[in-house]
């Protein structure tokens, strides 16, 4: 018997798309559930008719066959007169002040060129718009031969509905060869947590298997009550993809039949009779005649440790895993992608700025109050008193209100001998490292920020530079270290810090060793969570 069978059809649909809707023309032999839709979430597949290439669409929506795709996740618009290529990636409704549609993508064209582009909106069975958008490159100037990220803002007039989809055209006379789904606020997917924080992690392009390190990092974030992790994967190792997809499926109910030799999850409910106290521990036995050979602690509500924040489970899973590729003619080959990015730094930075701002607007439409950017070798660690990210912001913001971003200073966590990179395949590596570098007061290292989502216009890696409204410079508050710090793993050994009298250095400076144990408050739940995940995915040695 399948347990929870009624939920299995919903497994991959945090925001349900009905492939058999009135506009869908999918072949009868092809179920929408059989399409790996989440990889093509930016395309409104359920609206698009199927027709022969080059033929005119039967309705207002362009034919799927006539769309110009590029490297799976982009739609290509070629402006021949301007010798410009535009790679459209995603579109969002920006509800702040004047309602507008904001489109993200990358562009290759003549230096300092500014293309004229128009938006065509679709909603239900009507189309409207055809108005010029405001084009802006937000990292670096356009360079001949290299894609750089851009945003296109198209205003909605008063009374116009929020569109379901949008096409970008050079003029009204052109037939659309692209269409993007417009992500917008939805009561079903809106976070209602107090001080909820989402996290953006830019392209995970590791060819080596770092699934243990990734699992521990995610479990620490989960224990710190991060609301959602938006993770962008660039041909990630298959085991890391399995980990990301596992956390993407969390909080969705799905079970399988028991199979010989394979562990499957189960739950056992034992009722308490009226008047019986809540037990401290429980044993599971086949019968009363058996001696107990197991005992589990019973976790229960405790006023001392209970969060006083609203803490709803993030809809659709803890992780939103978003596969991505390079646009244009860049080398989308597993392996060479890794060295390609550091060798081509300007493209690398532009490419991850596209992801960070796609993540920012996903966070905006899903209602997260704060947003941050982090790599898997980093962790903002609140002090033990605050313990979680929501509590950290609840403590920090009222004392320092009205800032756009709250900046946390870097603390280098020292690795043991032989672990210089921090990438050793060990699922408790962060919890084991409690020694940190103490530098002279005048030293400064770039940290990371937690920013107010509603105030962000364009987001960057360490702190936002352009804020809303009015494309103004962002105001940043440097958080005192007694609130929390950014832990950065993998730069130095413990032996690199020998004090001012030694010859060794860390990151080019002498340092002393100090203890930093903020993460240990999470050790029990994290270790158990990591072990359970790796066991279920059959990734334990």
* pLDDT of 395 higher than 50: yes
Percent of the chain with pLDDT over 90: 52
* pLDDT of 298 higher than 50: yes
Q: For 118-141, what is the mean pLDDT?
A: 91
pLDDT-derived band at 425 (thresholds 50, 70, 90) equals low
* pLDDT of 199 higher than 90: yes
Would you state the pLDDT for residue 252?
A: 44
Would you state the pLDDT for residue 333?
A: 81
Q: For 40-64, what is the mean pLDDT?
A: 83
Measured CA to CA, the distance from residue 132 to residue 170 in angstroms comes to: 9
CB 397 within 8 A of CB 406: yes
Measured CA to CA, the distance from residue 361 to residue 182 in angstroms comes to: 11
Of residues 134 and 264, the one with the higher pLDDT is: 134
CA 324 to chain CA mean position, Å: 12
Among all chains, which residue has been given the structure tokens 């107090």?
194
Q: For 182-191, what is the mean pLDDT?
A: 81
Count of residues in the chain:
541
CB 187 within 8 A of CB 318: no
* pLDDT of 1 higher than 80: no
* pLDDT of 436 higher than 80: yes
Would you state the pLDDT for residue 18?
A: 35
- The percent of the chain in helix, strand and coil, each rounded to the nearest 5, is 20, 25, 55
For 455, the token pair is: 């105030």
CB 206 within 8 A of CB 338: yes
Would you state the pLDDT for residue 265?
A: 59
Q: Is 503 helix (H, G, I), strand (E, B) or coil?
A: coil
Of residues 493 and 444, the one with the higher pLDDT is: 493
Measured CA to CA, the distance from residue 390 to residue 528 in angstroms comes to: 22
Query: By C-alpha distance, which of 425, 401, 400 is closest to 482?
Result: 400
Q: Mean pLDDT, the chain, as a whole number?
A: 83
Q: For 101-112, what is the mean pLDDT?
A: 92
Q: Is 526 helix (H, G, I), strand (E, B) or coil?
A: helix
Would you state the pLDDT for residue 38?
A: 64
Where does residue 49 rank: exposed (0-12), middle (13-18), buried (19+ CB within 10 A)? middle
Three-state secondary structure along 465-485?
Answer: CEECCCCEECCEEECCCCCEE
Q: For 250-272, what is the mean pLDDT?
A: 54
**How many Å from the N-terminal Cα to the C-terminal Cα in the chain?**
31
* pLDDT of 325 higher than 80: yes
pLDDT-derived band at 2 (thresholds 50, 70, 90) equals very low
* pLDDT of 16 higher than 90: no
Measured CA to CA, the distance from residue 312 to residue 308 in angstroms comes to: 12
């Amino acid at each position: 018997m399948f347990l929870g069978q009624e939920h299995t059809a919903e497994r991959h649909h945090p925001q349900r798309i009905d492939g058999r809707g009135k506009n869908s023309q999918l072949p009868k032999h092809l179920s929408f559930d059989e399409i790996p839709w989440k990889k093509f979430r930016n395309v409104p597949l359920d609206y698009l008719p199927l027709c022969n290439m080059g033929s005119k669409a039967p309705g207002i929506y362009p034919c799927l066959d006539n769309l110009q795709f590029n490297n799976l996740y982009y739609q290509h618009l070629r402006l021949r007169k301007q010798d410009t290529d535009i790679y459209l990636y995603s579109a969002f409704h920006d509800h702040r002040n004047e309602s507008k549609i904001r489109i993200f993508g990358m562009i290759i064209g003549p230096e300092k060129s500014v293309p004229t582009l128009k938006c065509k909106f679709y909603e239900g069975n009507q189309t409207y718009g055809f108005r010029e958008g405001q084009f802006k490159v937000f990292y670096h100037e356009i360079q001949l031969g290299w894609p750089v990220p851009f945003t296109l803002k198209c205003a909605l007039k008063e009374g116009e509905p929020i569109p379901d989809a949008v096409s970008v055209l050079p003029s009204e006379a052109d037939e659309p060869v692209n269409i993007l789904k417009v992500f917008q606020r939805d009561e079903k997917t809106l976070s209602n947590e107090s001080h909820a924080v989402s996290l953006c992690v830019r392209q995970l392009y590791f060819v080596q298997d770092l699934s243990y390190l990734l699992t521990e990092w995610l479990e620490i974030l989960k224990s710190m009550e991060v609301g959602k992790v938006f993770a962008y994967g660039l041909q990630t190792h298959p085991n890391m993809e399995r980990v990301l997809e596992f956390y993407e499926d969390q909080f969705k109910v799905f079970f399988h039949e028991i199979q010989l030799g394979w562990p499957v999850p189960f739950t056992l409910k034992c009722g308490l009779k009226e008047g019986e106290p809540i037990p401290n521990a429980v044993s599971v036995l086949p019968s009363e005649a058996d001696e107990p050979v197991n005992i589990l602690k019973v976790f229960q509500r405790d006023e001392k440790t209970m969060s006083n924040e609203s803490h709803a489970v993030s809809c659709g899973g803890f992780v939103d895993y978003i596969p991505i590729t390079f646009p244009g003619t860049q080398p989308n080959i597993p392996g060479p992608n890794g060295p390609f990015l550091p060798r081509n730094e300007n493209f690398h930075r532009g490419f991850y700025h596209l992801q960070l701002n796609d993540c920012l607007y996903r966070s905006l439409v899903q209602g997260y109050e704060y947003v941050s950017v982090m790599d898997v070798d980093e962790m903002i660690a609140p002090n033990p008193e605050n313990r979680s990210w929501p509590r950290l912001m609840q403590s920090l913001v009222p004392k320092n209100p009205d800032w756009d971003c709250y900046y946390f200073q870097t603390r280098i966590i020292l690795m043991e001998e032989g672990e210089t990179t921090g990438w050793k395949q060990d699922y408790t590596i962060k919890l084991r490292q409690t020694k940190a570098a103490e530098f002279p007061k005048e030293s400064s290292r770039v940290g990371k920020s937690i920013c107010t989502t509603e105030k962000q216009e364009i987001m960057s890696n360490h702190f936002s530079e352009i804020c809303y409204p009015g494309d103004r410079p962002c105001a940043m508050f440097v958080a005192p270290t007694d609130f929390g710090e950014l832990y950065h793993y993998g730069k130095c050994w413990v032996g690199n810090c020998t004090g001012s009298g030694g010859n060794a250095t860390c990151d080019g400076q002498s340092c002393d060793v100090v203890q930093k144990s903020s993460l240990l408050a999470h050790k029990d739940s994290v270790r158990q969570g990591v072990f359970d995940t790796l066991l279920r995915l059959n990734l334990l040695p």
